[in-house]
Amino acid sequence: MAGRSSSTGFDAPDTDSHRFLEFEAQALLTRLDRVKPFALQMTSVPAAAVSLQAQDAIERVLANGRRELRERVGQFRQWVTSAAGQLASAADAQRRFSMLRLRFNAVLTHVDLFADALVQRSEHEYGTWLGGLDAVAADGLALPGYYEAPPVICYLDRGAGAAIRRARTRLPGGDGENPVALIRVPRERMIGSGIASSLVHEVGHQAAALLNLVDSLRPELQSRQSRGGPDKVAWQLWERWISEIVADFWAIARVGIASTIGLIAVVSLPRGFVFRVTMDDPHPFPWIRVILSCAIGNALFPDPQWGKLSRLWSSFYPTAGLDPARHDLLASLQRSSREFVDLLLQHSPAALRGRSLPQVLNVNERTPERLRAIWQAWETEPAQMHAAKPMLAFAVIGQARADGVISPQRESRILGEMLTRWAVDDATGKGRSAFQAHS
């Protein structure tokens, strides 16, 4: 039977296109009103909650997106019911509404981006550990006097590798700026010292962006390429891989050999993948990446352990049997790696005001000798361990793991307790004041 439908508000047999779209716009607003602030939805305990700074930054961005969308919907509704709108074709009205709906979906994408991370905070035990990882990341990123570090939020996901959506980059949809560094951590790394390798590597990406390290290094790498010679391709690859290498450098400087051992756990793949060279991949292929990590570690913290670890890796993946072209490339990369590592150590970009990365990262505090001495002191007086800052704790325990003086079971138990402690301290304000004092 013909007539006005009570459920849709438009004539079903002879659909009024403008009336239909006006009701669709109202529906967008109705659904948008269902999107509540995270403060009204999250059920995590205080120790598992993200920092107030992060909460405030996220809510501001999302609130701005909702407000802007409401304004756009209001403007569309005014237009579609106006005289000018009524004269427009159905196709033109639909085109305008389609753009509006794309913006609506972008706003919801922003909500989901943070919801995926925040909802895990309600998981028993894991939620609190994530609060602890936030504290670890904050300590790894802290470099007072050189930049203002953004808030960091960690969450878990499947897979072997970590990833970061850096703060101050564009949000999905191209509108708005990400207010926090959002780091995805592999769930399979919970909990061992290797988690610091993944986490601090991603922190290194954020730090490198804040310091503009990659762009400041490129001219020097391009200068080496301009010399030509047999290692030109190697220098092209070092430039191609520089973003990932700088992040690896940051992790090694912060947590020592724990970074390289954690890297080995990630890139231990079938042989074909370990030696696969893809010229447009920003990641060094696994074999050379581990060799370079050991070389950086030995340059920062000279110790026989790095050569031993490099030989161990080479025994897992011997180069015998590779084709001549790949052999030549490996030889070129290894031949140029010494000069490349020296470049990384000596690089003094404008952002660091004439100082080098090893200087500003205080690598003298992470020597294997010092880390071993701290572990021995902790064994004598375990209470000292509880006062340690996250970066130092992971470096000490990672060194103990590398030296074989701590079992994986004890390592996991200690780190779980420490993550919980850091989460509680951060929730009560103790952690923030401690990190500021440490910095």
295-311 tens-digit pLDDT: 999 999 999 999 999 99
* CA–CA–CA angle 310, 315, 317 (5° rounding): 95
Residue 104 falls inside a structural domain = yes
For residues 253 and 273, what is the distance between their CA atoms, to the nearest angstrom? 27
Task: Say if residues 356 and 348 touch (Cβ distance below 8 Å).
Answer: yes
Return d(Cα 39, Cα 247) in angstroms, integer: 33
pLDDT score of 112? 75
Residue 437 inside a domain? The answer is no
In this structure, the number of other CB atoms found within 10 A of the CB of residue 78 comes to 11
Answer whether residue 256 is part of any domain.
no
Question: In this prediction, what percent of the chain has a pLDDT beyond 90?
Answer: 55
Is 99 contained in some domain?
yes
Residue 14 has pLDDT above 80, yes or no: no
All residues at 6 or more sequence positions from 421 whose CB lies less than 8 Å from its CB, including other chains: 132, 386
Helix (H, G, I), strand (E, B) or coil at 184: strand
> 438: pLDDT confidence band, cut at 50, 70 and 90?
very low
CB-based contact 271:317 (threshold 8 Å)? yes
Give residue 56's domain range.
Answer: 17-119
pLDDT confidence of residue 339: 96
pLDDT of residue 18: 85
Question: In the sheet that 163-165 helps form, which strands lie side by side, from edge to edge?
Answer: 152-157, 181-186, 163-165
Predicted confidence at residue 9, as pLDDT, reads 45
Statement: residue 434 has pLDDT above 60: no
Name the domain count of the chain: 1
pTM of the complete model: 0.82
Residue 255 has pLDDT above 90, yes or no: yes
Confidence of residue 181 (pLDDT cuts 50, 70, 90): very high
d(CA 23, CA 19): 6
Mean pLDDT for all residues in the chain:
87
- Can you give the pLDDT at residue 11? 41
In a domain, 58, yes or no: yes
Dihedrals phi, psi of 193, to nearest 5 degrees: -65, -20
Q: What is the pLDDT of residue 334?
A: 96
The candidate with the shortest Cα–Cα distance to 330, out of 342, 338, 322, 340, is 322
* Pairing label, strands 163-165, 181-186: antiparallel
Q: In the prediction, which pLDDT does 346 show?
A: 95
| pLDDT for the residue 436 | 42
- Does residue 238 lie within any of the structural domains? no
Query: Is 62 among the domain residues?
Result: yes
User: How confident is the model at residue 241, as a pLDDT?
Assistant: 97
333 or 55: which carries more pLDDT confidence?
Answer: 333
119-175 per-position pLDDT tens digit: 778 777 888 889 999 999 999 999 999 999 999 999 888 777 889 999 988 887 666
pLDDT 10s digits, 68-106 = 888 888 888 888 888 888 888 888 888 888 888 888 888
Instruction: Over range 264-289, report the average pLDDT.
Output: 93
Instruction: Please give the structure tokens belonging to residue 190.
Output: 């919970």
Cα 405 from Cα 277, distance rounded (Å): 37
| Per-residue pLDDT at 432 | 46
Q: What is the pLDDT of residues 201-224, one digit of tens each?
A: 999 999 999 999 999 999 999 999
Q: CA-to-CA distance for 166 and 160, rounded, in angstroms?
A: 20
Q: Is residue 259 in some structural domain?
A: no
- C-alpha to C-alpha distance for 280 and 386, rounded to whole angstroms: 45
